[in-house]
Amino acid sequence: MATGLGLSRGAVLRRYCRVVDISGFKQISLAEQPNMDCVFWIDGACSIYEHRPLQCRSFPFWAPYLGSRKDWNVLESMCPGVNVGELHSAEAIDEWLALRRLEAPLDADSVDEVSQDEG
């Protein structure tokens, strides 16, 4: 993503990301606009589609939404892009899930490092 934007990793983290706490684990997430759309969602499309991070490439196939049909239906009611477009194989979805599991949560030192990373 940084390369596609022509910025350093640190600049991308400071300008477009935030640290979120998910069940006690800190993760990097893309920032949102005031209406909660992704900071890169502009005029109904992703402005960095070719360079989007795994967080985006794997959506909506995130573990919390795959637990039950009810969970999926709730997501579908909130996101007009769910169940629209290209169909993905079970293998591709499993690969995304595996990659997401490999993304280690940040510890306190890493959070400080991310906020001060200059590239």
pLDDT tens, residue by residue, 42-77: 998 899 999 988 888 888 988 889 889 999 999 999
| pLDDT for the residue 10 | 81
22-55: b (≥16 Cβ within 10 Å) or e: eeeebbbebeeeeeeebebbeeeeeebeeebbeb
The tens digit of pLDDT for each residue in 90-106 reads 999 999 888 888 876 65
pLDDT at 80 (0 to 100)? 82
pLDDT at 57: 85
All structural domains of the chain with their residue ranges: 2-116
pLDDT at 39: 94
